[in-house]
Structure 1
Amino acid sequence: MDASNKTAVFDKMFFPKKPNYEYTAEFFHSKATEEQRKIGTYNTGDNIERNVTISNYLAKKQLEKTTKKLNVKRKEYQEKRKYVLDQWEDLKKKEEGLRQNFIRFNQFVKENQEKKERAANKIVEQNALKKERQKRMDDLLEKCDQITKVKAQMDKNINRYRIYEKFLMTVVDYEPSVQSVGDLLKRYEALIGARKELNDIQQRDLNKLEKAKTNLNHTINVYLHKIETIKNKVQALQERYEKAIINCQNWEKLHKHIKTETTETLLDIVAIKESCRRIYLEICKRKKITPLYVDEIEKQLMVIKQAIGEYEIINSRVKEAHEKELRASIEATASNTE
């Protein structure tokens, strides 16, 4: 079978494009009608009874025919499969070639883009360089114009100062000690140099004097500051001395006052002790008890306090009795009046 026949056979093949789940109904329908589609072995000869041997022979003949057809179909299928595999390999090679072509094309496009960018950058750089060169040329032309103007001004000044040159030549002619205008100018420059040197010396001396004056003022300020500091310290010490004298007088007065108060307090204490002793002895005398604490002031005070408490109780009772008598007398007077 040649390639054209294979292509024609391959083109007649139908490959479904729907998803597999849409073919389940057809599959189940074919299973249901499988019994109806079975074709029985009909008798193509005369109507005679065949035995098992004839049936086997006919079945073998049918099997041989079917096997031959199946082998032919298998051979055709193998040839078609080989043709399809060859086409598949060819397609894979073409796909790989197309992929490589795409890669090369992308690389070519990328390189072309890079070349365009480099060319654009180069054009920009060239334009910038051109502008810079044009600017330099404009600057040079402007400087050239300025130099031309300066030259014209210098020529004008030279023409204006030429009278001085004539005057210098006249001086050289009339002065025998001067040989040329150059000597005269040298003398003038020497005088200018001497004057400049004298000015420098004078300026240097003035700077030294100014520096000495500054140092002297600084020293005076330093010593004035020190004197002011010492003066402030002396004044502070004087104030402290005066405060110390005042504090000393106050402390002396306070000491004298404390001494006086202490003496008075001691005298009061002695008088109080003597009074307590006399009161204690009087209490003991009235109570007709023997005084045991003649020299112990605290115990004497306790005895005096106890006696005072007793006297207060007695006094309160006397007051109550007096009040009762007074009320009784008032009641009696009132009853007599009635």
Structure 2
Amino acid sequence: MDEQWNEMRRQELVLRESFIKFNRFVRENQEKRDRADTKIKEERDRQAHRLEEIKELEEKLLYMNDIRDRMKKHVAEYKKYQDYLDRVIIETGEFHSISEIFNRYETLIEARSILSEHQDKNLELLEEKGTEMHHMTESKSQKIMTLNNKLAQLQARRDRAEVQARKWETIVAEIKVTAAEKNLEHTQVKTCCWNLYQQICKRKDIPVTVSKDDVEQQLDYIKRTILELKRIIKVAKKHATK
């Protein structure tokens, strides 16, 4: 009985160990299967991704081929312009490359833009100056009208002044004539005084001491001489009556 019991226990242990091994085997197989499924899925995903990349690359290739064809077409179209620019470089001798021509073109465009801006500013300034000139012209016109009125008044005053001036010119001319006559008379009187003074000095047998231009002294001497003669005549008349 004990032997049977021990045998059963031994078989149970063997069976349990076999079950554990089988269970481990099943679990390992399941893990391997899961890993295989994961790898298969990853490989499928990788293949799908590669197919998408291939499709994108094919589309890009088609796009690049289209661009290449269009670029070839543009190059063929613009080849004549390049040939023309090459002839410009050769014939002018002013440029060494096409880029220099483009640089000159950009410089000229920039200069034209600057000149256009300056022209616009000058036109604006000209318009402003025109407006200022218009206002100034109106102001000057009013001033000119005022000055014309003043000029007319001054013209009238000048005409009146000219009439007065002609009147006074006539008076001055008459005064000059009178003065000339008086001057002539004065000269004649001076000459007579001088001659009379000289004759008196000669008759008295005395030297001439008064200058020719000192009419006052001459008249004074002549006056004294006349008074002396009057006294002499008076005395002579008294003696004659006796």
Greater RCO (Cα-Cα under 8 Å, separation 6 or more): 2
TM-score by length of 2: 0.46
When normalised by structure 1's length, the TM-score is: 0.34
Structure number with the higher helix fraction is: 2
